[in-house]
Amino acid sequence: MKAKFLSIILASLLVLGIAAGCSPKEEAELDGETVETSADTDGNGKTLRIAFPDTLTTVDVADVTASTMLKEVGGVVETLVYADADFNLTPLLATEWEMTGDYTWVFKLRDDVTFHDGTKFNADAVKWCIERSLVNNSALKGSTFIESVDVIDDYTVQFNTFEKTTDLPAALSYVGTGIVAPSSVDENGNFVKAVGTGYFMQDKFDETSGTFESVVYDGYWRDVDTSVTRRVVKSMTDASARSLAVQNGELDIAADVPFSDLETLSNLENVTVSKFNTARTYFYEFNMNEELFQDERVRKALIHAINKEEIVNDVLLGVGGVPNGILMDDMPWANTDVDTYDYDVEKAKDLLSEAGYKDTDNDGFIDKNGEKLTIKLLSFPKRPGCPLIVQATQGYFANIGIDTSVEIVDWSAMNEIIADGDYDMVLNSAATAYIPTPAYYLEEYYCTNDTGYVNEELNALVDKCQATADMEEKYEYSRQAQAIAQQDACVFTPALYGAVFAISNDVVNFEYNAAAHDFIVPYETDLK
């Protein structure tokens, strides 16, 4: 049954690949349009065209989608701190920082930076921007613990927190803390333009299409070597549309293209397919408010029933990785010395039998007290592997006699269903280094989740991880917490996320940063 199920999935992928796999020449003839080239329309440089896989309706940095685009893709906004590909924190708009008390941090700022309107980047601007974002971004307080900002002098600020945290520098690398000038808002306080400090500055934004354009800012504070003078960022939520646009030469960089298109894309002379490991996971959460999942044997049986190697290699077509724990191995605080619940159908059946679930009427489905075991799987389509993983899981569960249904809805609808409790298991995907600290991911998805999972010992370890300033202690507390979380098996990782890009062969100097929220396009990214 399993082999048949997987063959259906792979056949579907092949059909989708063929449907989306028209050659660039064929598609151009069908459209009857001239494809835009990568030359700057001003004739003074080159234009880099990038797909952004989300809906842009604003450029207000208090909006997380907008701030992600502005910082990582548009190149317009910068943060005080930068997290490199090895998850190290390095100075950016801040030069140094120090924890001066249980609830205070002092940051020294660069004194040679100007905003795109020509005004000085300074402490007053940082205070204004961060405090405005705290008001307009409800999640920012919870991720930074910032209560207020004090100006010490022109280039020194003090952050006052409402909880003791040693992770503020990491939190200030988060996209939502991007700094813009006060001139970004009008006299009524309405955000009108992102006036940042980046190498590129905002030129145009079309709210209807979600297309954003930025051009080089001549007053940028450091040297950048690229011939690109304009970036055009196109809001494109449809993965197949992103893939086709690269095939047609309408885009230079597109992330998260459909896995079904990878063979077609790889065979094109003008496109390179690149895969990267990244600090993001696919993870299942059990609805712990249900009696069924309060039995540890049931949870662990379901994990043993899932073939993680087959999911990564066959279902996801090699995009991603097989987890050795909760996090990707390259994260310095990852604990890989934990039980991974290897694929074992017989063990899964034995655990379910111990829990009282057996096929008493020989209908192919297990039951208990005369009631058939049914499971509803829930997920969302934005992350390309989610629908594929839940469909494969449906097949794996059928192998052990469980009647399983699948529901794929958009992100907001999924969260409404979770809030209502109308699901059994939900497959989610999240960046594990959204804030690059050993505590962040555990705090966000294991300590404060909406699924009813609570372990006070784990919570206490995460609190200690957040409180200590000693990095080795942070790592150790995090690893201990990961071991407890893995043992509880209330949240588990069936696959590590893989970032897959379709990139024009004209693109050079593009480097991937695994610590990014989605993906960073470095300023130095160039065109031949």
Whole-number pLDDT of residue 12: 44
Whole-number pLDDT of residue 515: 87
Q: Are 184 and 153 in contact (CB under 8 A)?
A: no
Whole-number pLDDT of residue 382: 87
> Residues 156, 160, 162, CA angle at the centre, nearest 5°?
165
Pick from 111, 106, 94: which is nearest to 150 by CA?
106
Q: Which residue type occupies 408? A: I
Whole-number pLDDT of residue 448: 81
Length of the chain: 528
Whole-number pLDDT of residue 31: 35
Q: Which residue type occupies 418? A: I
Q: Kindly state the tokens that stand for 353.
A: 């039998």
Listed in order, strand segments (DSSP E) in 437-490 are: none
Burial of 277 (0-12, 13-18, 19+ CB in 10 A): middle
Who's near 439: CB < 8 A, 6+ residues apart?
Answer: 167, 462, 465, 466, 474, 477, 478
Domains located in the chain, CATH noted: 77-181 (3.90.76.10), 279-497 (3.10.105.10)
Whole-number pLDDT of residue 43: 56
pTM: 0.85
Q: What is the pLDDT along the chain (528 residues), one digit of tens a residue?
A: 444 444 444 444 433 333 333 333 333 332 333 333 344 545 568 999 999 999 999 999 999 999 999 999 999 999 999 999 999 999 999 999 999 999 999 999 999 999 999 999 999 999 999 999 999 998 999 899 999 999 999 999 999 999 999 999 999 999 999 999 999 999 999 999 999 999 999 999 999 999 999 999 999 999 999 999 999 999 999 999 999 999 999 999 999 999 989 999 999 999 999 999 899 999 999 999 999 999 999 999 999 999 999 999 999 999 999 999 999 999 999 999 999 999 999 999 999 999 999 999 999 999 999 999 999 999 999 888 999 999 999 999 999 999 999 999 999 999 999 999 999 999 999 999 989 999 999 999 999 878 899 999 999 999 999 999 999 999 999 999 999 999 999 999 999 999 999 999 999 999 999 988 789 999 999 999
The helices-and-strands tally (H runs, E runs) of the chain is 16, 20
Whole-number pLDDT of residue 16: 38
Q: Are 141 and 124 in contact (CB under 8 A)?
A: no
